[in-house]
Structure 1
Amino acid sequence: MFLCLLGYFARVHGVSQLIKAFLQKTECHCQILNLGAGMDTTFWTLKDEDLLPRKYFEVDFPMIVTRKLHSIKIKPLLSKPIIELHSEDTLQMGKSPPIKTDKNYLAAKQAAKQAAKRHVYEPFFLLLRLPTLLITECVLVYMTPEQSANLIKWAANSFETAMFINYEQVNMDDRFGQIMIENLRRRQCDLAGVETCKSLESQKERLLSNGWETASAVDMMELYSRLPRSEVSRIESLEFLDEMELLEQLMQHYCLCWATKGGSELGR
């Protein structure tokens, strides 16, 4: 549990820093598309910090969207910002999209199965000339390599200026990675795209070979070592850490990748 907390903190910190870098570079004159957003709360964090982009889109399976919408409806801290941006009648169950405001668009789509098909995105009214940030967290690994390549290529070809952030497994060819794959398979969770997660280089190459101009990748242990020491000490103080070797193994098998096009300074 404690290892999961440390990993979660490192991931959130890394993704958050990249998002804020993009927003600062574009002065929030941009749009964000979060594919497989799940129960992510980035929208509310950005609103609290007055960093909302012009458009903010989220996509996930209908069941996940319904669950998230229910949570929003029963929690004033979540529903109030939505209502402030538009009106209470945007929070309607069973609608498509269920939430639509000038800033936020929460849609139910089967992203993992249909992401490679352009028509999935047509209802979003995406502005193709607006700088665009795309986020996928543990999404591409559930697609076949062909499907994820098509999605990455679509993103690179569709927007004049863009950034792509991806968080998922890496170094899956070693023994630790193989055990992870076997454990997931026992739970009927198949990683259809795991062959693209061989190394940091293979992660970068997938982005570069599908239309992106720059690509970077770090494993989560490297990112963890770069975190503010005051925050690391605060989290580590919550529980005594006596499994550093296991933490290192786990963190070395997840990575954060990002790519840019149409603006060499974006995301740096």
Structure 2
Amino acid sequence: MALQQTAHDACSRRVHCVSKGYLDDPFVRLFARDLTIVNSPLMNRGSWLRSMAFENMVYRFSQVHGGAPIQVVSLGAGVDTLFFRLRQRGSISFSKFVEIDLPDLIEEKRGIIHRNHELSSLVADDVYHAVPGDLADANSIASLLQTLTDPSAPTLLIAECVFVYIPAPAVLALLTALTQLFVGDLMLVNYDVIEPNDRFGSMMIENLKERGIHLAGITGAPTIVSHAERAKGLGFTSVRAVTMKGLYLTVPRDTQVTLNKLEMIDDWDEWNLVHEHYAFVIAWRGGDGTSASIPQVFIAPPPS
């Protein structure tokens, strides 16, 4: 139940970010259990950063393929609303969008979709699938995706703070199975906790343990370097791995100014410390096995 609660905590934080003007998400309230949450400018800014990073990378992957249909596989999607936001805007063409998570979360999400007319209308065709699955069982996940997707189509794998909860050998087995299944153009975008061995990291892990949350997979990729090495070992020919602190430094200055107008962060030292303990990884392998140029997550506007 602890992992399910982390999904709902993230949803509640997103509702708060929407109310503060950080994010545009008309669907997130439909999935939220708890709308009472303590305001934290630092956490709000972090939620904005990770949300926009994933959303932007779906756009970049679509742009690279000239707007042709792409398929997305979201591992451990929880109650995320990414598909519904992008589908409503209509700027990306999806051939498939598959979400995999624990059975109770999937059942809950399906129920909410079924009971809401707008959500139901967005999944009326055969593009979206929310399916239960055990991400620690690589063979079952690969078999499931083989029936739901086209292994030769351009595919984007999304894993937003998922692998860190799965034992490291099972993560490697899962990624190995998926890189073997999807033989076309393949990109992996991954966000996870890192640096468990310094003072802040150790404290963070202990605090999570007290809440019943165990980071079983953090030893498999505890640093930025190890995340990059794992991706390269899986056959990804282009890899970019940065801390979330480093990623934020690439956000255009005018966007940062806009965010500061919403809320100021008084303690940037704390911001930097927290976001040095999260990684954002982009790994890409061309369908012919060649390397490709990884697009920037955030793109500065053209000069006026």
TM-score (norm 1): 0.86
The equivalent residue for 2:46 is 7
**Does 1:71 pair with 2:98?**
no
Distance in 2 between residues matched to 1:44 and 1:201, nearest whole Å: 34
**Preserved contact between residue 36 and residue 59 of structure 1 (Cα < 8 Å):** yes
Alignment partners' CA distance in 2, 1:43 and 1:118 = 20
**2:82 aligns to what?**
42
Q: Show the counterpart of 1:265.
A: 292
Distance 1:3 1:267, change over 3 A: same
2:12 aligns with none
1:51 aligns with 2:92: yes
Confirm or deny: 8 A CA contact 1:212 1:260 kept in the other structure.
yes
Q: Does structure 2 retain, via aligned residues, the 8 Å contact 1:105–1:124? A: no
**Match for 2:60 among 9, 15, 21?**
21
The one-letter amino acid of 1:205's match is: E
Q: Which amino acid aligns with 1:106?
A: A
Question: 8 Å contact 2:238–2:294 — kept in the other structure?
Answer: no
Amino acid at match of 1:154: A
Report whether the alignment pairs 1:31 with 2:94: no
**Residue 123 of structure 2: aligned partner:** 82
Partner Cα distance (2:90, 2:192) in 1: 27
Aligned residue in 2 for 1:240? 264
Q: Take 1:149 and 1:12, find their aligned partners in 2: how far apart are those partners?
A: 25
- RMSD in angstroms over aligned alpha carbons? 1.9
Is 1:177 aligned to residue 201 of structure 2?
yes
Q: What residue identity is the alignment partner of 1:12?
A: S
User: Is 1:21–1:266's contact at 8 Å kept on the other side of the alignment?
Assistant: no
Report SS of the residue matched to 1:188: coil
Give the aligned residue type for 1:62. P
Unaligned runs of 5+ in 2: 1-39, 296-304
Q: What is residue 164 of structure 2 aligned with on the other side?
A: 141
Deviation at residue 70 of structure 1 after TM alignment? 2.7
CA contact (8 A) 1:57 1:124 kept: no
1:120 Cα shift? 4.7
8 Å contact 1:208–1:215 — kept in the other structure?
yes
**Contact map agreement 2:192 2:278 (CA 8 A) in 1:** yes
Deviation at 1:52, TM superposition (A): 2.8
Question: Structure 2: how far apart are the matches of 1:70 and 1:230?
Answer: 40
Residue-pair matches, total? 250
SS at 2:239 equivalent: strand
Q: Percent identity?
A: 28
- Cα separation, 1, equivalents of 2:118 and 2:250: 32
- Superposed displacement of residue 114, structure 1: 2.1
SS at match of 2:222: coil
Q: Return the structure number with greater relative CO, CA threshold 8 A, min gap 6.
A: 1
Cα distance change, pair 173–206 in 1 and its aligned pair in 2 (3 A):
same
The match for 1:186 among 201, 210, 213 is 210
CA 259–116 in structure 1, closer or farther in 2 if over 3 Å, else same? farther
Q: Which digits, 9 at most, give the CA deviation of each residue in 1:56-80, with x for residues without a partner?
A: 1111111111222233234333222
Using the size of structure 2 for normalisation, the TM-score is 0.76
